[in-house]
Structure 1
Amino acid sequence: MNKRVAVNRVTQSLLTAFLVGQTAFGASAAASGPDKKPAASGAQDPVLIQTMQAELTRAMSSLGSAAASTAGSPPPPKPYFMSYAVSDAENVSISAQFGAITNSNETRRRNADIQVRLGDYAQDNTHGDHRTSALTTVPLPLTDDREALARSFWFATNRGYGKALDSYLKVKTEQQVRAKEEDASADFSHETTSQEFVPSDAKFSPAAPLMKDKSAWEERLRELSGLFKQFPDIFSNTVALDASNEVDYFIDSDGTRISTPSHVARIVVVARTRAADGMDLFRVETFESDELGRLPDQKTLTEKTLAMAKNLEELRVAPVTEPFDGPAILSGRASAVFFHEVLGHRLEGQRQRGDEEGQTFTKLLNKPILPTFLSVADDPTLKTFDGISLSGHYSFDDEGQPARKVDLIQDGVLKTFLMSRLPIASFSASNGHGRSEAGHMPTGRQGNLIVTSSKSVSEPELREMLKAEAKKQNKPYGLYFEDISSGFAVTSRRSPQAFSVIPLVVYRIYVDGRPDELVRGVSIVGTPQAALSRIVATGNHQDVFNGICGAESGSIPVSAVAPAMLVSEIETQRQAQGSSRPPIVPPPAVAKMSEAGR
């Protein structure tokens, strides 16, 4: 009781000092002026990076200074670390449906993430459940108005400092009443600084035109979405193009100072239908590149779109699956999604510490978790794989650390985890995988997850191995998963350490030679250690999956590369059936409508 009273008094004193500190910081702004240029900036630097550096330097020297304290009050704590991260992007988004444009927008945005840490590397305001307390996100002026930019950084920094101070005091209080933590690692890692300032060229500058032939792209999307008019049972479709130029700037109080340009172009085709029994069905095709001009030509896109639409028509009348426990093959693309969901998320560093984390593999370091013929790495430095652009490529992570290849599993043995600057018991440093969406705190995340195998066979051989395994288990068939949409992995300690993956296209492969049978309503379920230990062999060709992955640090682009794999046992269950009927009235006949209008 006495300790709590004492802590409350300290809280009041520090909060009072903080209010004074805000005044002192504001006075310092008037004295130094927003045009003051830091010594570290060169004449070639843009106004944005100059202003970032000036305001960060001034904040580090002003916040928590002796001038911020009142008579008889201790000064508030000084930040031991701060960073400014700015994303400066231009985006073009076009979508079409049934042959008509539904959206065509061009946008420009600038956002800043201000990170303030109080305390020290061992323990700071982000400790435990307070991790997000370091972050403040604000929009920035789109023009290089030095004074407007400076005022924006100034206000956001003050607001961030107040939030960090409040959280730091809570952390100190909680340490008095909480039991000893399982992992007493530091809250932040010491890292070497990076200096790589890349001036934006015309190709990547947000000031340059992103799309010169917008009308031509609108016509292409109209044509692709119009293909679905041939299929009366497809009641919803979207063909969307998203392209962006972005330059990301990052500076911190340790001296890191980088900028990285990027360009992404992506076409997504989505279509939906509904079976007579009410089950909703959909297919998705994604095409991605680092340039608009490198996206597939119209002929290729047309072929893929028509094939997807025909497959949806077949799925409508396919039989519904029954729960199954037996052998299966996952195609390369399906295998890539499977590894991303079932394995990749559990190898993220922050999953290895904290009272709420399941820590599936934490205690298995240097022990086998996969068959000996499999190895897994994450290499965000790769831009392409077999000529296909990889979404998970980046040069620096979102904490200013250089991207690097990390060998996670070698010959089946777990070697390390995907690390941000949040240490864990076994590893105290980042390995360049601290990633986040703007407005979120970085955590260890996947980039380009690459699965390789030393026990590979041809696709026909893998198929025969599936039949032999099914016959051995007295199963009439094995399953072949051609395409997988997505999935989710439960990593919380309070829930079963399970996963669920949603396949889109599944076939039964009969052992007696009957033709393959398309089925619908399949969901893969299981637990990671059991599922991963049952991989028997892989195909000899690796496929690429590009997608967007959502987690606590936001939605980020990722890739996974893997060969097809045969598993001796996989468990499936039926998806939710649904109760809505397909559309009662048939779609309008366009030709008859045209005649009626004459």
Structure 2
Amino acid sequence: MPRSRFRLTSLVLLSSAFVILPVIDKPLHAQSSSSLMDAMSAELSRATSSLGKDAKDGQQPPYYLSYSAHDVFTVALTAQQGALLNDDSGHQRVVDVVVRVGDPRLDNTHGTHRTSAITTIPLPLEDDSKAIRRSLWWATNTGYGNALQSYLQVKTETEVRAKEEDTSPDFSKDPASSAAGQPVVAPQVDKQEWGQRLRSLSNIFRDYPHVYSNFVMLNVQDETGYFVSSEGAKIVDPHRSARLVVFASTRAADGMDLFRAETFEAETISGLPAQKEMEAAIHRLGASLEDLRDAPVTQPFDGPAILSGRAAAVFFHEVLGHRLEGQRQRGDQEGQTFTKDIGKPILPSFLSVADDPTMTTFEGTSLSGYYSYDDEGQRAQKVNLIQDGVLKTFLMSRLPIASFANSNGHGRAQIGLMPTGRQGNLIVTSTKTVPEKTLRKMLIDEAKKQNKPYGLYFEDISSGFAVTTRNAPQAFQVIPLVVYRVYTDGRPDELVRGVSIVGTPQAALNRIFATGDKREVFNGECGAESGTIPVSAIAPAMLVSEIETQRQQQGISRPPILPPPTAKASGEVQK
């Protein structure tokens, strides 16, 4: 259930919509007492029993009301070029108040009015019950007024518009959950030690003169989620995370910008890798960028390719995962790629796909997509989406769709936004696996069969996007970072740059004809209509008979004219 406002993507730091109140080494409260939950429960009970009881002018009481509060402690350190750039600690409390007016069949959230249900405000940091309740009172009244106005609009629109294709209710009937977790304490971070470690890590990039920008960021977060609802839910859900992100970029002589990123995940800061392991990873990253800027630019290609396990994980998240999110099967704006395919094969029969947010680790790697309860207070569940290639179900929030009336614990959102069906830990498994060497030989054989001089090997992928709406082609684009040409005549593999994978989902997914025997993890951030949330994907390497690529945007800016002050030329240091 916890939803961080302090999340780092591979490219940008997401800013908060609220003021982050700074603290020194000691936060106002190292641990939330029961005062916050008690205040939320008391004010929810008062609002539920009072709102709309003396209603006039057609007003009516809300049929559903919930408070979802987040008590968040963070420590963030950033180093760049061997020096500390940022040193912050923070503590904030934020609450989402959700008010639904009408009834589950038709309420104020219908159609395009979904956001009318939510009001988000900061809460006092102190365990002052009166102050907390007054804040909740104000947010509840504001939310109730918005809900009433929206419900009137919804009723008018349903009377004048044509009948919808999917007439499912606006809210599902699901059991209320209860959980009494122990609230977390503020993270204990030795800033002096970690500041020096980050300086040392970022200093490595000085050995790579063409790495023009870089940062190494440590983000440690301890969060407790509190959830109460008029249905009787009452949840205290602690969550802890530590992430170290390395980012570096360069620019080729022709103006193309290139970057690489590396992340290290753990539940607590003590679980992050040893310094030597991270140093080795940064050296690999720096050397990779130096090689990439000198690599030839790719040409458009249509032929066989291997996606590494990490690359295949991102590929499945973007190409398949988003199209299996429940809300995308409902509404006249959605493309509904697989809506009518329940019980039908949509993948090769040797592939199965599940989403299991209850998994905390995979083979020793912490998973970003782990959670115990979703953002609607529903217990997280493993969902078998595709079994032996056949589609079984979708990722459901409490927004029903035809044939699926209930949540399966995947209602997720960033603070301040309404939850929708989202991915957590997407897991791809295969019954047709071969060793890596065999997979490579199969790639060469397939390229020869198609009279291609080479196939492609995608080692790493950064991100992508999927178009799922009807007003645009049902297509995807995925941005690889490291790509090699694997030649059929025995020449060494050739690194290339500027590659972009494009295509349509059904064609791309059904061209997979073998997989590797080892699965890899991708941890990252996913942005969609309900905001940016942490996700993971796990997949084996995959051999695809045909994949289409195009060239990325070239860029027009030239590399720096003046070399960096520490760059070596002819054995001398530039002055």
TM tier, smaller: over 0.9
1:314 aligns with 2:302: no
| 2:27 pairs with 1:47 | no
Aligned equivalent of 2:442? 465
Equivalent in the alignment of 2:259: 282
> Post-superposition shift, 1:596?
11
2:556 and 2:169 map into 1 onto residues whose CA distance is 52
TM alignment of 1:411-422, pairs within 5 A:
411-422=388-399
Equivalent residues in 2 for 1:15-414, closer than 5 Å: 46-66=34-54, 68-69=55-56, 73-74=57-58, 76-200=59-183, 204-206=184-186, 210-414=187-391
Q: Deviations over 1:453-495 (max 9, x none)?
A: 0000000000000000000000000000000000000111101
Deviations 1:175-199 (A, max 9, x none): 1111110100000000111111113
Q: Which structure has the bigger radius of gyration?
A: 1
Aligned match of 1:39? none
- Could you say if the C-alpha distance between residues 530 and 590 of structure 1 is closer, same or farther in structure 2, counting changes exceeding 3 Å? closer
Higher helix share: 1
CA distance in 1, matches of 2:181, 2:201: 38
Specify every segment of 5 or more residues in structure 1 that has no aligned partner in the other structure, as ranges.
Answer: 1-43
Deviation at 1:212, TM superposition (A): 3.5
- Letter of the 2:294 counterpart: V
Structure 1 CA distance for aligned equivalents of residues 38 and 237 of structure 2: 16
After superposition, what is the alpha-carbon deviation per residue over 1:434-469, rounded to whole angstroms, capped at 9, x for unaligned?
Answer: 011111100000000000000000000000000000
- SS of aligned partner of 2:437: helix
Is the Cα contact below 8 Å between 2:209 and 2:566 reproduced in 1? no
Distance in structure 2 (CA, Å) of the matches to 1:589 and 1:552: 44
Aligned to 1:17: none
Q: Distance in 1 between matches of 2:436 and 2:160?
A: 59
- Evaluate the alpha carbon distance shift between residue 486 and residue 591 of structure 1 in structure 2; reply closer, same or farther with a 3 A threshold: closer
- Are residues 1:539 and 2:516 paired? yes
1:441 corresponds in structure 2 to 418
Aligned residue for 1:23? none
Q: Shift of residue 548 of structure 1? A: 0.8
Answer yes or no: is the 8 Å Cα contact 2:566–2:573 preserved in 1. Answer: no
Measured against aligned partners, the alpha-carbon deviations of 1:330-373 in whole angstroms (never above 9, x if no partner) come to 00000000000000000000000011111000011110000000
For 1:577 and 1:125, the matched residues in 2 are separated by 47
Compute the displacement of 1:232 (Å).
1.1
Amino acid at match of 1:441: M
Cα distance in 2 for partners of 1:313, 1:277 equals 14
Does the residue aligned with 1:175 lie in a helix, a strand or coil?
helix
State the Cα RMSD in Å. 1.5
Determine if contact 2:396/2:409 at 8 Å carries over to the other structure: yes
What CA distance in whole angstroms lies between the structure 2 residues aligned with 1:591 and 1:149? 59
* CA deviation vs aligned residue, 1:503-529 (integer Å, no higher than 9, x gap): 000000000100000000000000000
Work out whether 1:552 is the aligned partner of 2:532: no
State how far apart, in whole Å, the 2-side matches of 1:211 and 1:334 are. 35
Alignment CA distance shift 1:458-1:591 (3 Å):
closer
1:539-579 deviation per Cα after TM superposition (whole angstroms, max 9, x unaligned): 00000000011111111110000000000000000000000
User: Which residue of 447, 459, 466 maps to 1:489?
Assistant: 466
Displacement of 1:595 in angstroms is 10
The offset of 1:242, in angstroms, is 0.5
Residues 250, 289 of structure 2: 8 Å contact kept? yes
Pair 1:577 & 2:565 matched: no
- Deviation track 1:26-68 (CA, whole Å, cap 9, x = no partner) reads xxxxxxxxxxxxxxxxxx97000001011111111111112x4
| Cα separation, 2, equivalents of 1:97 and 1:129 | 44
- TM-score, normalising length: structure 1: 0.89
3-state SS, counterpart of residue 393 of structure 2: coil
Alpha-carbon deviation of 1:205? 2.0
Higher RCO, Cα 8 Å, sep 6+: 2
Matched AA of 2:196: E
**Which residue identity lines up with residue 94 of structure 1 in the other structure?**
L
> Aligned AA for 1:513?
G
Partner of 1:25: none
Q: Percentage identity across aligned positions?
A: 65
Structure 2 CA distance for partners of 1:596 and 1:234, relative to 1, 3 Å: closer
Equivalent residue, structure 1, for 2:5? none
Q: Does the Cα contact within 8 Å between 2:502 and 2:548 map onto a contact in 1?
A: yes
SS in 2 for 1:507: strand
Equivalent AA in structure 1 for residue 161 of structure 2: R
- Distance (whole Å) between structure 2 residues aligned to residue 49 and residue 381 of structure 1: 24
Between the aligned partners of 1:344 and 1:407, the Cα distance in structure 2 is 12
**What's the secondary structure of 1:502's corresponding residue?**
strand
Looking at structure 1, the residues matched to 552 and 567 of structure 2 have their Cα atoms a distance apart, in angstroms, of 35
2:530 and 2:169 map into 1 onto residues whose CA distance is: 20
Q: What are structure 2's unaligned runs of at least 5 residues? A: 1-31
CA contact (8 A) 2:522 2:536 kept: yes
Task: For 1:353, give the aligned amino acid.
Answer: R
2:525, 2:189 → 1: CA distance? 27
What is the TM-score when the length of structure 2 is the normalising length? 0.93
Hey, what's the Cα distance between the residues in 1 that align with 2:372 and 2:258? 38
| CA shift for structure 1 position 211 | 2.7
Q: How do residues 2-21 of structure 1 correspond to structure 2 at under 5 angstroms?
A: none
The offset of 1:259, in angstroms, is 1.0
Change (3 A) 1:309 1:187: same
Q: Deviations over 1:116-168 (max 9, x none)?
A: 00000000000000001000000000010111101100000000001111100
Q: Is the 8 A contact 2:566 2:574 kept in 1?
A: no
Residue 474, structure 1, aligned to residue 454, structure 2? no
SS at match of 1:321: coil
Count residues in correspondence: 542
SS in 2 for 1:164: helix
Determine the C-alpha separation between the residues in 2 that align with 1:324 and 1:141. 57
